[in-house]
Structure 1
Amino acid sequence: MPGNRHFPSPRARILACSSLAMLAAAGWSAPALAEQDASAAPASPGEIVVTAQFRSQRLQDTPLAITAMDSSAIQQRNLGSVLDVAGFAPNVNIRPGGSAFGPAAQVYIRGIGQYDSSFAFEPGVGMYVDDVFHGTMLGSIFDLLDLDRVEILRGPQGTLAGKNSIGGAVKLYSAKPTGSGHGYIEAGYGAFNRIELKGSADFALVPDQLFLRVSGVSKMNDGYLTRLDYGCLNPTSGVPAATTNAGCKLGTEGGKNMQAGRVALRWVASDRLEANLVAMATEDHSEIGASKLLSLTTSLSMPTGTNPAQFITAPNSYTNYATYLNLPFTDAKGSHGASYIDPVSKVSGREIYGTIDYKLGDGLSLKLISAYQRYKGSYGSDLDLTPYSTNSANYIYNHEQFTQEIRLNGSSLDNRLDWTVGGFYYKATSRFGGVTFIAPGTVAQNFYVTQDRIPARSISGFAHASYKLTDALTLTGGIRYTDDRKTYTYGRLNPYDVSQPAYTVAGAINGVTGQFAATRWDYRANAEYRWSKAVMTYAQFSTGYKGGGVNPRPFAPEQAVSFKPETLDAWEIGAKTDLFDRALRINLSAFFNKYHDIVFTNVSPTANSVTNATPVNAGNADMKGLEVEVTARPVAGLTIDASASWLDFKLTRIGAAGATIVGITTNNRAPYAPEWKLGGGIQYAFALGKAGTVTPRFDVNYQSSFFSNIDNNPLAKVDGYVLANARIAFEDASRDWQLSFSMTNMFDKFYYLNKIRYPIGIVVGQPAMPREWKISLRRSF
């Protein structure tokens, strides 16, 4: 890529990492014990094994707050993407980003995360696939394709694997090739012409040595929100019509068109050496996310006397008046024609990664994780959702990254001491571009072509050790050093002559460069005590860190500023229990966090722009909460699960930068932090003799309200809701065939996933899908 000559090619990186591992294998000849995979750890049937502390442990033996689900639970709950897992995890809130932020997930754990998808920001919650860190929120709405398990780690992960994560981590682990010869094909059809196809197959290329697993998915459905032409529906209003179609329908939003595939190759060279190589590809050409206009207090770009409120459609209706047209206008530079923004959200992703596990000696192993990723795409946005050109944009982006992680794991002192030392390297180059129009043809106009370049790199080293002081008491400590660097260079060009800077106020930013650099030490201390086989308790102190950056959206020179990192001091206690011969599992956790230099967005007008979206370090806060997860199996075939969480947020200090945010007070609630979450599910497997099994399942989830901005403007309040889902599945006795019927939002509740208040008086909500049904047929072989 231009300007990136020192960025090695993907092939060179993989070859270099593989060569390093092979040299290590050749140079160290001692017999060894490798870091075990989760699938190899001893566990009772149905028990989930996790690797949060660099070694395989039963979920109930891990002194951390973790929610974990295996592939069976994912299927039974009818979960389709990473957005769906939040409903089953306490104090976890995952939302789609909305049209302004593109195909991104807004992930929050215990009220800490990141909602803006720009490459200028670090994710507050780390996202991983097979231990590979994904450094961008764009393209992070991962499909749950062919998974072995999902792990959600709550609380800072400052001293553990991958990149520093202040809020926690969401980790997806794919099924590994085993050479079993098994696989499945599944087809589904449902509401909104939903068509889903997925499957996987596992082969042995060389018996007992070389295995291949191939999996793929395709999802398509029609949009559920209709875009109507206001001018067509109201021909005497004076609003220009954009179509003559019957019903004045312009199109839909919320439609899906996504395909993804994965090829995994596993080589078990000996009992000392195992290598895994995975290639993944994603093509997503979906419609833009569904949006409804909730409030509009500006009439910029509208004829004199226009009431902007007339473009708000009826409550609880899945409609808007977005045309995605920029109408012709005239300014001091002349007359400019109309332009159209395609209301689609495209993601094209390619990823290749490999892991090498090498046994060095008794209690000593080496693990290498090398990965290259590239995501590119585009998305259109008609922020005002009216027939006029108040605020619209068409964005394009390109992100590539290389990560390398190395871990040396050891066990000594008669297996009483387990330790890990390692390092993590991250290098990324991102580009963000497109064209933005704000109130063209008015005194407040600002429009420009964006050409931003954002190189970043992060280097860290970590050490982790657990010592079993007695058979019951284990002490754990961890430390990490992080060195972050990020540069942001702005391009703000004239849309009508891109060889020149923009002639609006944004042109003064063209060529400006902002930088961020910081180093950080993080720590963890943990004590766990096993009172019996059924009860374990723990207490922990840890620190967290999220790197700072540079404002990615300055509309005027005074807004091109940097912001500092966020930091966290976290105390946690917890208990994990398996009672009545594992018929009842209750996991509890309580935490208290001191959150420093929290970054919030200031949308107040500045000297040269009525539009502002500047991130500032607003102040400090105390956060505390409680979490409980329960699983009961009172009789064979019956499973009852439930979770609940409570979260309290209190601003304790508002700094000078935070005081510039209109409406901020110490009584305000944190964005994307619902105070309460409750959820539960029940299923029972009815045996039908030789015919097979019928398993109905019912789930219900409650989430209290939250705000999307720290000013707690009531227009951007997402109301609480109760959501119910159901599924019933028949499986034949041989377990070769499965027929299922599922329903989401079964009581057809109208509710919002998100509400966002944009500058210049625009508030937009993202309604969730209405009731859906789907019937699926699965054939296993």
Structure 2
Amino acid sequence: MARFFNRRSSSARALLALSASTLALVAQPAAAQDEADNQNTESSQPAVAGGEIIVTAQFREQNLQDTPLAITAVNAATMEAKSQTDLAQVADQAPNVQIRPQTAAYGPSVTASIRGIGQNDFNPAYEPGVGIYIDDIYYPSLTGAIFDTLDLDRVEILRGPQGTLSGRNSIGGAIKMYSKMPNGTNSGFVEGSYGSRNKISVRAAADFALTDKIFARISGVAKRQDGYIDQLDFGCVYPAGGSATFVNSDTGVTMPVNPAGGEPARVFNDSCRVAKLGGVNYQAGRAILRFEPSDKFDFTIIGDYTDDDRTGAGQVLQATRTKSSPNVATPSGLPFDNRFICGKWCNFQVDGQAAGVFVGGIPGANGLALAAVEDSNRTKYRGWGVSGQANLELSDTVQVTSITGYREFDTHFTADGDLSPARTGFGINNLSNWSFSQELRANWEATDTVFVTVGGYYFEQGSVYDSIQDLRYIPPYPLQFRQPDHINADAKAVFANIGWEIVPDLNLNAGVRYTKETKDQNYFRYNLDGTINGFLDPVGVAYGAGYEGPDTNDSDGDGDTTEIVKALTGSVAKYKGDKVDWRVALDYRINEQFLVYASVATGFKGGGSNPRPFNAFQLLSFDPETLTAYEVGVKSDLFDRRLRLNVSAFQNEYKSIQQSVSPCPLPPELSAYATPSACRINGGDARIRGLEAEMNAEPVDGLRLDGAISYLDFKYTYVVPGTGILPTDPGTGMPKWKASAGIQYDIDLASAGSLTPRVDVAYQDETFSGFDGTGVNRLAQYLPSFTTVNARLTWRNEERDLSVALEVTNLTDEYYFYSVFDQRNNNGGRIVAPARPREWALTVKKEF
């Protein structure tokens, strides 16, 4: 894979991250809990009935119930009790929060949204709308963002714009993961699981003291599981001259592949199965070293590594729209139509496209030989990071904090655009990213009632998205090209925040942040032999890469040799922007039971340039999104703290929404260049309103209840004319209603230990997933609503250091979808990613 950034330079940044952190006079970023809380073991229980959860959303340790923010805080015990092993599962039960794995077209990436604002495209030209942080280090991509909950102390989900508290690209909210810190307790755990489809999982962690001043914690996870979508060889299932049947190897019964009104069986003759998609093969590790030479200074260094090498995303072809085009037919001449719909749990994906000859199209296209492209069906992600965090107490009232981090990942994945031997589209994708960040801040307790934070932040990253695209559905010409585009970006910010107890029980929290950012995107469009692609870049072919000047050779054939033209290959799109964000929150504690608050906050998501132009005229820029959010809320602890109920209501004024449209909104004289397209523009403004409620209760000792419910209403207030966007469009990729509920009861068995049954139920309303088509003919697409049930039965011994748990996820075997990729408008199909079917696992855990 071509690389357009200096690896030596990126390695130097990693060393700088380590050395700068070591030498800085810095503060451990407001730890989640004090030392006693950090020794919280895996067998501890969720904080209800008088328990406390400490969060750090406002740059200092605060009780969750004293923080004027809508926060879902989940500790390790809660995640274990709910069988939550990755970030997406944690988000499932938070109100107005959604993280979903994508279809294979987007590789090992996610769509992430909070309160209807986020991002669903992994392309590094786009900024995430939800900020994800690992031990206060910003993770800049949606790729690889379904992190395992390995040895986490807690997860904080902050809903609403965090422009002053977290910075850029947290316009919808922020998700922060915090590792368990070492305390030298000489403790740890080992956990092993076995379950459905040969699921094997091993987790372990150890906390120990190297000296009386140096503590370490190491942890690791390895998990494997067979996939749940059968990938079949179409020619094997439909042999030439044979019948369209398969043999169920479990029952021996011969059945038609796609019976009317039914579906194929889950298990096929092994000779026709190519692979089982949606498998798991994940390994990760983390090491933490904490140095405490005195009670005035401590330093922590964290390193982690992830290796995810598995079969591609589980997905199936759900629908097609037949168009007459010999270019997308199979090598034997079969048109792409519903015959390739395999069923609910299988597809006919192939690992490439056969060679062929293009038929029809513009001059130079007819009769053009097209090469074969192929690759494996595996998705690979490897990432690592190192960060340094330390704390220096300059005086009883002043502490200085520095957080330095470096992260890097590489991923490789392929995507068949039709899940069949047809030749509509195939992509081979390589994406690399490195990022470096440095934050320095000072906390000053000016008086007993005033707490001030000031600081600065620097972020830099480089990405290379090097892909081969084979798109044969374009009517005028074929597209076989390589695009090794690379992007460099940086951001600088200064910020200040003040917490002021105006009078007892009445508090003001206010903050401001100024951010300045830049981004350079470099475009390249080559044929597979390395020459410039003439269909995408005729100017580049005529004059060379990077050319911009008069069209003396009349490269576009319009007869005008004086017009100024530009080569797509070698073009650089530059974006610069700056923004001031602010936040004001007022809270009042009525009594020990009730806190009320109101806040106004802003946030933004950075702009850029269209990353997928099909010609130089489509090099359109888009501006940042902005948001102003108004929120009121109540936090309560009732009935002697046996019931915790938090409620919030909000209204977001959402401006300059970044949206994908087709065709590109070009001037009338350039309409011939408007399609094919995948343009990103600022499409309009909207108002988003919502309600959220979260509850935790322990009505009697041992019985624990929790639940959440949310409502979201999106409405356009303005749409840009000529874009195809309508004021009545749904606009958001989140459900209007979402709810979850859980119940568990600890049964004391005396010397035999305890038994804890638990059940969790989650509901999600139908979700708008985009449009197929353009203008009046476009079709609104929705993912259907669904309800899932998870159950877990846990036995613990009397000493509570040994546990055995039987868990079942998706107990009712609900058939629903994570995501959809619809290309029916381009001779493709509607591809959906079904969620995992019912699965069980038996887990044994030993703590020491």
TM class by shorter-chain length? over 0.9
| Preserved CA contact (<8 Å) 1:133 1:163 | no
Unaligned runs of 5+ in 1: 26-32
Q: Separation in 1 of the partners of 2:486 and 2:692? A: 41
Q: Distance in 2 between matches of 1:435 and 1:717?
A: 30
- Residues 713-734 of structure 1 show CA distances to partners (whole Å, capped at 9, x for unaligned) of 6563101111111001001011
For the residues of structure 2 that align with 1:505 and 1:149, how far apart are their CA atoms? 49
Asked whether the 8 Å contact 1:81–1:144 carries over to 2, the reply is: yes
Using the TM superposition, name which of 502-511 and 689-698 deviates more: 502-511
Q: Which residue of 2 aligns with 1:697?
A: 758
Residue 198 (structure 2) pairs with residue 193 (structure 1): yes
Task: Indicate conservation of the 8 Å contact 1:34/1:364, yes or no.
Answer: no
Moved more, 300-309 or 50-59: 300-309
Alignment pair present for 1:465 and 2:498? yes
Residue 596 of structure 2 aligns to a residue in which SS? strand
2:299 paired with 1:262 = no
User: 1:369: which partner in 2?
Assistant: 403
Structure 2 residue corresponding to 1:75, chosen from 80, 99, 116: 80
1:559 counterpart letter in structure 2: Q
* Distance of aligned partners of 1:379 and 1:470 in 2 relative to their CA distance in 1, 3 Å threshold: same
Using the size of structure 2 for normalisation, the TM-score is: 0.86
Match of 2:833 in 1: 766
1:245 Cα deviation (Å)? 7.7
Higher relative contact order structure (alpha carbons within 8 Å, sequence separation ≥ 6): 2
Q: Which residue of structure 2 aligns with residue 221 of structure 1? A: 225
For residues 130-141 of structure 1, the aligned pairs below 5 Å read: 130-141=135-146
Deviation per residue, 1:739-780 (Å, 9 max, x gap)? 001011101111111112235143211101110001111111
Alignment of 1:251 onto 2:275: yes
The answer to whether the Cα contact below 8 Å between 1:665 and 1:711 also exists between their aligned partners in 2 is no
1:394 aligns with 2:422: no
CA distance in structure 2 between the partners assigned to 1:514 and 1:645 by the alignment: 40
Q: Kindly indicate whether the alpha-carbon contact (under 8 Å) linking 1:752 and 1:766 is maintained by their aligned counterparts in 2.
A: yes
Query: 1:719 aligned to 780, 784, 790, which one?
Result: 784
- Would you say the 8 A contact 1:601–1:615 is kept in 2? yes
Quick one: structure 1 residues 398 and 502, their matched pair in 2 at CA, closer, same or farther if it must change by over 3 Å?
same
Partner of 1:642: 707
Aligned length: 761
Asked whether the equivalents of residues 715 and 763 of structure 1 are also in contact (C-alpha less than 8 Å), the reply is no
Give the AA of the match of 2:616: P
- 1:115 corresponds to 2:143: no
Shift of 1:377: 1.3
Instruction: Confirm or deny that 1:160 pairs with 2:165.
Output: yes
Q: Deviations over 1:369-404 (max 9, x none)?
A: 000111011001001111122111010011001000
1:59 to 51, 59, 64: 64
CA contact (8 A) 2:196 2:841 kept: yes
Of 782, 787, 798, the residue aligned with 1:733 is 798
- 1:50 matched to which residue of 2? 55
* Contact 2:772/2:822 (8 A) holds in 1: no
- Counting aligned pairs with the same residue, the percent is 36
Compared CA separation, residues 750 and 171, structure 1 to 2 (3 A): same
Q: Secondary structure at the match of 2:826?
A: coil
Matching residue within 216, 234, 249 for 1:212 = 216
State the secondary structure of the residue aligned to 2:166. Answer: coil
SS at match of 1:157: coil
**1:85 match: secondary structure:** helix
Could you say which residue in structure 2 is the equivalent of 1:29?
A: none
The TM-score normalised by the length of structure 1 is: 0.93
Counterpart selection for 2:314 from 290, 315, 332:
290
> Structure 1: which amino acid aligns with 2:396?
D
Question: Do residues 309 (structure 1) and 309 (structure 2) align?
Answer: no
Deviation of the 1:506 alpha carbon: 5.3
The reply on whether 1:516 has 2:575 as its aligned counterpart is: yes
Find the aligned partners of 1:61 and 1:441 in 2 and give their Cα distance: 57
For residue 644 of structure 2, what is the aligned residue in structure 1?
585
Corresponding residue for residue 470 of structure 2: 437
Distance change (3 Å), C-alpha of 1:3 and 1:180: closer
Q: Which residue of 2 aligns with 1:231?
A: 235
* Distance in 2, Cα, partners of 1:254 & 1:138: 16
Q: Is the 8 A contact 1:716 1:756 kept in 2?
A: no
**1:101 Cα deviation after fit:** 1.2
- TM-superposed deviation, 1:63: 0.5
Partner residue in 2 for 1:37:
31
Distance apart, 1:337 and its partner CA:
4.6
- For the residue of structure 1 that corresponds to 2:91, the secondary structure is helix
Question: Could you say which residue in structure 2 is the equivalent of 1:30?
Answer: none
Contact 2:466 2:483 in 1 (8 A): yes
Partners of 2:458 and 2:353 in 1: how far apart? 44
Does the 8 Å CA contact 2:185/2:207 hold for their aligned counterparts? Answer: yes
Structure 2 Cα separation of the partners of residues 697 and 558 of structure 1: 58
Give how far 1:310 is off: 2.5
Q: Give 1:601's aligned amino acid.
A: S
Residue of structure 2 equivalent to 1:573: 632
- Give 2:353's aligned amino acid: N
Check 1:764–1:611 CA distance in 2 against 1; reply closer, same or farther (3 A cut). farther
Distance 1:763 1:557 in 2: 29
Give the match for residue 41 of structure 2: none
2:534 to 503, 508, 517: 503
Seen in structure 2, the aligned counterparts of structure 1 residues 157 and 41 have a Cα distance that, compared at 3 Å, is farther
Q: Which amino acid aligns with 1:736?
A: D
Preserved contact between residue 660 and residue 679 of structure 2 (Cα < 8 Å): yes
Q: Distance in 2 between matches of 1:506 and 1:138?
A: 29
Map of 1:281 onto structure 2:
305
Query: Residue 152 of structure 2 aligns with which residue?
Result: 147
Matched, 1:667 2:728: yes
Tell me which residue corresponds to 2:350: 323
| Matched residue SS, 1:185 | strand
Distance 2:167 2:217 in 1: 25
The equivalent residue for 1:350 is 384
Whole-angstrom distance in 1 between the partners of 2:791 and 2:15? 49
Q: 1:525 and 1:115 mapped to 2: Cα distance? A: 30
* Alignment pair present for 1:551 and 2:610: yes
Residue aligning to 1:476: 509
* Aligned residue type for 2:75: D
Structure 2 stretches of 5 or more lacking a match? 38-46, 246-267, 359-364, 541-567, 665-670
Q: Output the CA distance in 2 between the equivalents of 1:328 and 1:7.
A: 39
1:600 to 630, 636, 659: 659
- Whether the aligned pair in 1 keeps the contact of 2:405 and 2:436 (CA below 8 Å) is yes
Deviation at 1:441, TM superposition (A): 10
The amino acid that maps onto 1:313 is I
In the TM superposition, what is the alpha-carbon distance from 1:185 to its structure 2 partner? Answer: 0.6
Partners in 2 of 1:425 and 1:723 — Cα distance? 42
Q: Match for residue 28 of structure 1? A: none
Bigger Rg over Cα: 2
Partner of 1:450: 483
Instruction: Give, in angstroms, the shift of residue 99 of structure 1.
Output: 1.0
CA distance in 1, matches of 2:244, 2:676: 27
CA–CA separation in structure 2 for the residues paired with 1:494 and 1:307? 27
Structure 1 residue 547: deviation in Å?
A: 0.4
SS at match of 2:509: strand
Once the two structures are TM-superposed, the CA of residue 609 in structure 1 deviates from its matched residue by: 6.9
- Separation in 2, partners of 1:479, 1:442: 52
Question: In the alignment, is the contact (CA less than 8 A) between 2:54 and 2:63 conserved in 1?
Answer: yes
Distance of aligned partners of 1:164 and 1:754 in 2 relative to their CA distance in 1, 3 Å threshold = closer
Q: Cα distance 1:569–1:441, how it changes in 2: closer, same or farther (>3 A)?
A: closer
Corresponding position: 1:491 with 2:550:
no
8 Å Cα contact 1:726-1:742 kept in structure 2: yes
Q: Distance in 2 between matches of 1:474 and 1:672?
A: 36
Q: How far, CA to CA, are the matches of 1:560 and 1:129 in structure 2?
A: 34
Residue 79 of structure 2: SS of its match in structure 1?
helix
User: Per the alignment, do residues 710 and 412 of structure 1 end up closer, same or farther by CA in structure 2, a change over 3 Å counting?
Assistant: farther
Inter-partner Cα distance in structure 1 for 2:89 and 2:70: 19
3-state SS of 1:152 partner: strand
User: 1:231-252 CA deviation, whole Å, 9 max, x = no partner?
Assistant: 32223489999xx985522222
